[in-house]
Structure 1
Amino acid sequence: MTDNVNKGQIEFWNSDHGNAWARYGEIIDIMFAEITDAVLDAAEITVGDKVLDLGCGNGGTTLAIAGKVTNIGSVTGIDISAPMLERAQEGADQSGLSNVTFLLGDASIYPFAERSFDAMVSRLGAMFFEHPENTFRRMASALNYGGRIALGVWRGPRENMWAMAPVSAAKEFLKMPPRPGPEDPGPFSFADPERVRGILGGAGLSDIKLNPLDFQIPLGRTLEEALNFVVEMGPLSIPFATATGESRRRAVDAVIRVLEENSNDDGIVLLAGACWIITARTP
């Protein structure tokens, strides 16, 4: 589907940045495994459910849901990133799953049939919509009465050292883009609980709850994988894409130092992550 509502996000996730997230899909699932588990537990998914996975990316959460609902149920993953959905479909094919469907499209305008899902989940995919209240109003209409929503979203940047520690170390050597406002589409746009309650309540959802999840994020399995994540996928990926010469070298060195400082005895880089696990229901 094409539309200008989320044009910037569509362009970003289908660029080299989207290709990087597709290429390192296995690492991403390792990094965010605790969020996946928390979201799926909160969604109370059971055998036979029909589930929508919003912003499904490489399909890690989608395939996990498919196993929970079994062939009696089904799961539909939707995302705007063609590279990531290609990887997701490969994963479904390799797993031999027949109860999985992937859709390339913008969930904020996609014409889902009314009352067609029992639950909707999202691991870190809910924060990037230009008009989130409209998006969740559409999601609510696609859920059955009493349908369940479970979202994993980031809390504020100061609580998320996996993102901010590398930024603090390297920003003096890089040309940093303007910082998005707290309500602009981006990873931290759902950090404010009152804003979240306003968005979901305005969309007609009820029983809205936010529970904190604090954990240590492994940035890959090795220092090299951690560095690749920071340079190609993390908040520094855009400034690193245009950095050259001495400034790039000094930025890389600064990132390596902070990663080494946060490595355990096995060489795995661990940095703090902080999320909200949000639940809500349709009336």
Structure 2
Amino acid sequence: MKVSAQLCVFLLYGTFPSIQAEKHSLYYIYTGLSKLVDLPGIYEFTAMGLLDDRQIDYYNSKEKRKIPTQPWMKEKMQEDYWEKGTQSRKSKEQWFNVNVHILINRMRHNESDLHVIQRRVGCEVEQQGDEVKFLKGVSEYGYDGEDFLSFDDKESQWVAPVDTALPTKRKWDNVPILNQYTKGYLEKECVDWLNKFREYGDEELRKTSPPDVHVFLRKSNDKTKLEFTCLATGFYPKDVTMIIRKNNTSLPEDQNESTGIRPNHDGSYQLRKSVEIMEEEKDEYDCFVSHRTLEKPIVFKWGN
């Protein structure tokens, strides 16, 4: 019996590609440095908005203006939106400038060294047809590249993964109205803005691009084996499924080396996975790629 590619996806994942729900996100990223760095494009404070991983606005401590980075944001959002946004970003800049030094002292770190405090806040939704479902809200802080504090949206409380974050957790949890506001922003206000932005940028955001798939073979570090590599590039949105298979059977993920999904310069994405194989078995391997832009998955073998 011949099984269709769509049925294969159903058997693997329990859903058909044509009815898969779309996931969308809105995040704001804030980065504050403890001192000025003499490097081009690096500022003491930066902030940006990301809608479905595309930058929609930007602010830095030199220009001190929140500006649109998408034409439709400039066209649709009124001047008072950018004025209020600029004032909000200036306030956050001051907060970061103060708190990065509080953390340096708390950690007993050297003030003369460079230290970084970051925040990511936003929400993700799932859309199927006209129905939009809230998936999760994120409000988290990092210090020098390590997790410092995060908000548990379900429990409405802060989580401290390190002991040095406990004083902040206790302080913020003792202000219930702060946690109520954070939960309300993540579940309601953030989702409202996400939907509004997607409506404004509908035509641009709905542009999709299918993956361009390639398979490579090269000598492995182990001279008795080959490295079988699958590359998918140029696709948008970034959600993609890539499986390296042997005789139509998926290999366990822990056998693969993966770059993870990475951005290309044009706003599209790429993903590369590799596995070591025996040379005489190279014809038994293929690369299975599924993406929402494809009517059916791509199955690519060496020599196609």
TM over 0.5: no
TM-score range, shorter chain: under 0.3
Q: Give TM-score scaled by structure 1 length.
A: 0.27
The structure whose RCO (Cα within 8 Å, separation 6+) is larger is 1
Write 1 or 2 for the structure with the bigger share of strand: 2
Structure with higher helix content: 1
TM-score (norm 2): 0.26
